[in-house]
Amino acid sequence: MDPLLVGARELWQGLARVPVSFAAAGGVTVVVSPESGLCPVGWVGVVALGGSALVTVPSESVAVTVRDALARLPAEAVVDDALVREVLPVTGILGPAALSYVSPEVFRPVEAGAWTVERLPASHPELRSLEEAAGHEDAAEAALSEITSPAWVVRERGQVVAAAGYRVWPGRTAHVCVLTAPEARGRGLARVTGSATVAHALAAGLLPQWRARPQASRRVAAALGFAELGCQLSIELAPASDSPGTSATARTA
């Protein structure tokens, strides 16, 4: 099996927080884990990697509902939010987000060119200013405030307009976070700061992970050599009294 896929599966199996393994190709494993790290507390967490899926649920009663519903779908479809809404009483969804990984052998670093890449501590106030300029939705997607590494930044007219760093996750995984100010996008700054971040993570012996929903972010990851190995989806279900197959969208992100 591809070492990247092995590492990715080991990470998410650990985040399930109960003993579990991905099924063989085409299989879907549903396990009860109230403390699952695959999703918010009380939600259903779904991760599909390498043609099979791992699903965590908060209770045995939910497990019955979810197993019956997802049995109607092929493994690769359990992270398709539209299809999931057809078989489960969904009230909220986070994702789907593509999960991409890179090894030292295929990493494609990007030269800074005319830009100067500066290193700042994760707590530096200018990073918070960048998040404010980017807006709540984009800042939440990037999660730059959660990094445990230094940040690599690019300035324009003295202001930080792009930054990247990573948060160390279990299994020696480096979860990469990248954010660019709206007015500075489309000029390759995410690739420049992301490249410096990934190079640092690989030098530390970590497995870089790039989780993204926007196509622009996924293109940046591909440019750096990342391979998309799967997807993640978090599902909030309606109370048990609601009949499966009905869907009310209270929150979509």
Mean per-residue pLDDT over the chain, rounded: 92
Residue 223 confidence (pLDDT) above 70? yes
What integer pLDDT is reported at residue 95 of this predicted model?
93
Domain carrying residue 90 = 3-97+230-252
Q: Clarify whether residues 157 and 193 are in a common domain.
A: yes
Q: Is 216 helix (H, G, I), strand (E, B) or coil?
A: helix
The phi-psi region of residue 162 (left if phi > 0; otherwise alpha if psi is between -120 and 50; otherwise beta) is beta
The answer to whether position 50 is within a domain reads: yes
Strand pairing class (117-120; 28-32): unpaired
Q: Clarify whether residues 151 and 70 are in a common domain.
A: no
Total domains in the chain come to 2
The model's pTM is 0.90
Q: Give me the mean pLDDT over the 186-204 stretch.
A: 97
Strand pairing class (207-212; 173-180): parallel
- The candidate with the shortest Cα–Cα distance to 181, out of 173, 172, 189, is 189
Please, what is the Cα angle at 145 between 139 and 147, to 5 degrees?
Answer: 120
Residue 210 confidence (pLDDT) above 60? yes
What integer pLDDT is reported at residue 82 of this predicted model?
95
Q: Write the pLDDT tens digit of every residue in 235-252.
A: 999 987 444 444 333 333
Q: Give me the mean pLDDT over the 68-87 stretch.
A: 92
98 burial (CB, 10 Å; 0-12 / 13-18 / 19+) is buried
The answer to whether position 245 is within a domain reads: yes
- The candidate with the shortest Cα–Cα distance to 230, out of 211, 208, 214, is 211
Q: Clarify whether residues 84 and 168 are in a common domain.
A: no
CA distances, 85 to each of 59, 65, 101, 105, 191 (Å): 20, 13, 28, 39, 35
What integer pLDDT is reported at residue 164 of this predicted model?
98
Q: Give me the mean pLDDT over the 204-230 stretch.
A: 96
